[in-house]
Structure 1
Amino acid sequence: MRFLFTDFNPMITHGLGRTLTELGETVKIVDVGLGSQRDPDFLEHAISSFNPDFVCSQGGWGKLGDIIFPILRRKGIPHIFWASEDPVFFESLSLPMAKNSQYVFTTAAECIDKYYSHGIKAHLMLFACSPSFHHRVEPDPRFNHDCIFVGNNYSQFPARLKGMEIILKPLIDKNFDLKVYGLDWWLNRKNRFFIEPEIYGGNLTYEEMRTAYSSAKIVLGLHSVDTSPTMMSMRTFEALGCGAFYLTQWTPAVENLFSNHEHLVWSKSPQETVELVEYYLARPEERQRIARNGQAHVYARHTYHHRAEEFLKVLRAPASGSRHDYGRCFTVDSNSNQRWWVMKVKRVTINMKNP
């Protein structure tokens, strides 16, 4: 099959798109938003030259829908939408895109019923890592810090702000060796959370992020969603794939997919963060053990190879009923403490972590 992706997001270039190519599919990635600013017929030309079976988008920011859907309807090309901004932007962003798409995937299991209520099929597809890219590399002295965080200052999200107060603020207050990398929004004192210049390390390329993860003693994690059973920061999978020791803000999704002090470590309070950092900085062997386990876990269960196989299975399944006839996602087997999510109609079971 031939897939035309509409932007160069790393989860496509180093993730799903790259993996589909490795599985023998034909993939082309273009930046429709930028290309259409230069040439209104950019997508028309891309489709004519590539002749895709599917056009695929994730997120859907800006005027992407206004650009692609009139063309796809006219040409009869199905659209695949990966709602990577669920659940936060379900109403404003994902739903309008999903209503015009033939296949919808979401990172947030709780949104499947919401799509269903609008007559839309939705399939669960989480973030992941790519072992061919997300692996340990030679450490760089620039990133040889006790703790680092890589990401942007999304303090406008309550869950993210709470995570900053739990994870970053206590380490800053206690003068730990901490560097924060991302866009310079971190320095803007008008934001609800900001840092001083000596803590800010600048913005990193995606390749530098991998090196930073391979160099620091502790990689910190924050999440913009703390109520979803499945949605979490994509950095979780990427950091673990790079063999990092990952200390993160607790969320239900993190607990559902990973085991504390086995694959990673989570904190629920500022005091716990300080205690965990002090404990693990003094115990490099334990850090290394957990980092190895975390990497093995995501390599075994959460790679883009796994996601691509799920993705292709949905596309290859024979059509049954209308486009708006689809099952729901729910928990079962709670008495035995097994966390399973089932997509009923497709009969797909995802084992979140070892029973």
Structure 2
Amino acid sequence: MDLRILFLNWAPIISFGLAPGFRDIGWVTDILPPEDNHPDGIRRRIADFKPDYLLTEGGVGREKLLLPLIEECGVPHLYWAIEDPVASNLSLAYGRASILTLTTCEEWLREVYAPNGVEAICVPFACNPSFHATGRYRPEFRHELAFVGNNYEAHANRKAGLAIMIDPLLAAGYPIAFYGDENWINGRISYTIDPALYRGYLSYIHWPDLCASTPFVLGLHSINGSRTMQAMRSFEVLGCGGLFFTQHTTAMEAMFDNHKHLVWSTSAEETVELYRYYQSHPDEAERIRRQGREFVYAHHTYAHRAREIEAKLAQLHGKQVNGR
């Protein structure tokens, strides 16, 4: 009998990512809709779907709602700690209520979870080939350079990324299309851009088309020093066949090959040099796009992640899971 898992979040990383990954390996999935995000709605969903497992991703600001219900229902809970390595109090609160915690930060297995008696494995971000695939060219998404993400400055590495990836290209006269929240232009954040460059939010369903229409998709990362934690965009852009042009981090170097799967830069000067080089060598840029997608399809899909989770659950239960 196929196992059943109910996701208590409806974010794109679940609905277009991990949930399809579980379906790909034979699980039956359900996703809590926003209208059921209250105690009675969650209880009803659990009663109707009868899951073998629950899974929460992130869960920021929902602790008071979810933690009592997880304890009340008695269904084994998995926690995907995508905020690691930032919010240890949040991750440990959910981790202690879960049979298994899935961290995006490998280092926290020994630094945080093991010392606190929380069972955990490393589950980084990934791509879903049934969604993160070649899109169609659309003129409205035809930019030479694009960045997709909100504007915030809570992390020093993010600020460094702006200085390495964004500022030098703008200073050299290369326009960048920015998609994200209005903090790029409303003055609430000290870092602002020319409003003419701002394109508003990008609906997640348009990711494949953006990557098919824009030669270079820029990457910024809030975290450095981890071998696994990075922006989820890395895998999504590569899966969609885009050229991911990003700041260097420990995770970039640990998980990808530069100039083979993507392109990273370590300085403002290098960013402009690399952009000019690949702009004038489109065949080499296309080779990187092809190799990057082949690599993540072979090693970093959400089906891969789901199998790793399934294997750990089997180990914890001392038996096969889902007949495998």
**Shorter-chain TM-score tier:** over 0.9
Q: By how many angstroms is 1:12 displaced? A: 1.0
| Residue matched to 2:6 | 4
- Aligned to 2:259, which of 253, 258, 261? 261
- Aligned to 2:188, which of 158, 181, 190? 190
Task: Identify the structure with bigger relative contact order (alpha carbons < 8 Å, sequence gap 6+).
Answer: 2
CA distance in 1, matches of 2:273, 2:55: 44
Amino acid at match of 2:106: A
SS in 1 for 2:297: helix
Any idea what the Cα deviations from partners look like across 1:21-53, whole Å, max 9, x if unmatched?
222211110146x534xx541111111111111
Gaps of 5+ in 1: 321-355
| Residue matched to 2:322 | none
CA contact (8 A) 1:130 1:303 kept: yes
CA distance in 2, matches of 1:308, 1:101: 17
Q: Between Structure 1 and Structure 2, which shows a larger proportion of helix residues?
A: 2
Distance 1:284 1:243, change over 3 A: same
CA distance in 1, matches of 2:190, 2:313: 43
CA contact (8 A) 1:134 1:241 kept: yes
Amino acid at match of 1:251: T
CA contact (8 A) 2:78 2:99 kept: yes
Does residue 1:283 correspond to 2:281, yes or no?
yes
Does residue 1:24 correspond to 2:31, yes or no?
no
- Aligned to 1:104, which of 101, 105, 112? 101
Q: What root-mean-square deviation, in Å, do the aligned CA atoms of Structure 1 and Structure 2 show?
A: 1.4
- Aligned to 1:200, which of 198, 201, 206? 198
- TM-score using structure 1 length: 0.86
CA contact (8 A) 2:4 2:28 kept: yes
Does residue 1:57 correspond to 2:51, yes or no?
no
| Residue matched to 1:326 | none
What pairs with 1:127-146 in structure 2 (closer than 5 Å)? 127-146=125-144
Any idea what the Cα deviations from partners look like across 1:267-287, whole Å, max 9, x if unmatched?
011111111111111111010
| Residue matched to 1:66 | 64
SS in 2 for 1:148: strand
Q: By how many angstroms is 1:71 displaced? A: 2.5
- Aligned to 1:167, which of 161, 165, 188? 165
What pairs with 1:106-121 in structure 2 (closer than 5 Å)? 106-113=103-110, 114-121=112-119
CA distance in 2, matches of 1:288, 1:79: 42
Q: By how many angstroms is 1:68 displaced? A: 2.3
Does residue 1:92 correspond to 2:89, yes or no?
yes
Q: By how many angstroms is 1:59 displaced? A: 0.5
SS in 1 for 2:224: coil
The list of structure 1 runs, each at least 4 consecutive aligned residues, that deviate by more than 6 angstroms after superposition, is none
CA distance in 2, matches of 1:73, 1:157: 34
CA distance in 2, matches of 1:49, 1:121: 29
Amino acid at match of 2:103: T
CA distance in 2, matches of 1:230, 1:236: 11
Distance 1:283 1:184, change over 3 A: same
CA distance in 1, matches of 2:275, 2:123: 32
The sequence identity of aligned pairs, in percent, is 40
- TM-score using structure 2 length: 0.94
Q: By how many angstroms is 1:175 displaced? A: 1.6
Aligned length: 315
Q: By how many angstroms is 1:318 displaced? A: 4.4
